[in-house]
A = this chain, B = another copy of it.
């Protein structure tokens, strides 16, 4: 790869004399309390429950993909949350991706509890049936991932629910009419970073762009 800076000698020197590395630490970076500074994160609405009186929606940013094949993901949830015993008993949930239009309702589902509110009724989000799990999918979400819990791992404030993705549903509006492929660029998904909801901004490149040969 082409050098980004004319600093090759500096890096070479650091690598050849590792004792030099520590000299660069203190002045260059400020050490903070260990914390959750991994940003940005996804932000999704997780729907759960087997029957309408049990249905709930919980907003989650501690979520991610764990494995490509089989497709697996996780959500981390505090035991105090209304959804926690539902998730633990039913071992199923749906991850509903969030677009710009859903940002406010997603935030609302994150700050209000299912103990007090029937969230589908309050938000008028539409529950629809998935193909595998009994938990409802949110119709308004651009993409729904039906998930089955394989393991629950207590970690501290949060338990991690490890799950298999058993079905995926997408809004046909985001399908390319020619290829039939899902084009998520059109979905206006929302990211979460350090307490703020963001739209996705400009595209910097696609995977592999740094080694792509330019077309003549």
Contacts and interface: CB of A to CB of B under 8 A. Distances in A.
Question: Which of A105, A190, A209 has the most B CB atoms < 10 Å from its CB?
Answer: A209
Contacts of A139: 24, 28-29
Q: How many protomers of this protein does the assembly include?
A: 2
A86 interface: no
A124 to B, nearest CB: 5
A38 B1 contact: no
Interface string A103-114: 111011011100
A149 B52 CA distance: 41
Contact of A32 (B42, B117, B160, B182): B182
B39 A97 contact: yes
Question: Which of A1, A10, A105, A136 has the most B CB atoms < 10 Å from its CB?
Answer: A1
Contact of A35 (B22, B71, B204, B206): B71
Contacts of A193: 184-185, 189, 191, 200
Contact of A37 (B97, B131, B190): B97
Interface in A22-42: 22, 24-25, 28-42
Main secondary structure of the interface of A (DSSP, over half): mixed
Contacts of A199: 200-202, 204
A210 to B, nearest CB: 4
B40 A65 contact: no
Question: Which of A61, A62, A64 has the most B CB atoms < 10 Å from its CB?
Answer: A64
Contacts of A124: 3-5, 7-8, 10-11
Interface of A: 1, 3-5, 7-8, 10-12, 14-16, 18, 21-22, 24-25, 28-42, 44, 51-52, 55, 61-74, 76, 95, 97, 100, 103-105, 107-108, 110-112, 117-118, 120-131, 136-137, 139, 143-146, 153, 155-158, 160, 162, 164-172, 175, 182, 184-185, 189-191, 193-211
21 contacts: A1-B123, A4-B105, A12-B121, A15-B127, A25-B129, A29-B144, A30-B170, A31-B169, A32-B169, A36-B73, A37-B97, A37-B143, A38-B145, A62-B66, A64-B64, A68-B157, A100-B204, A107-B207, A107-B211, A185-B196, A197-B204
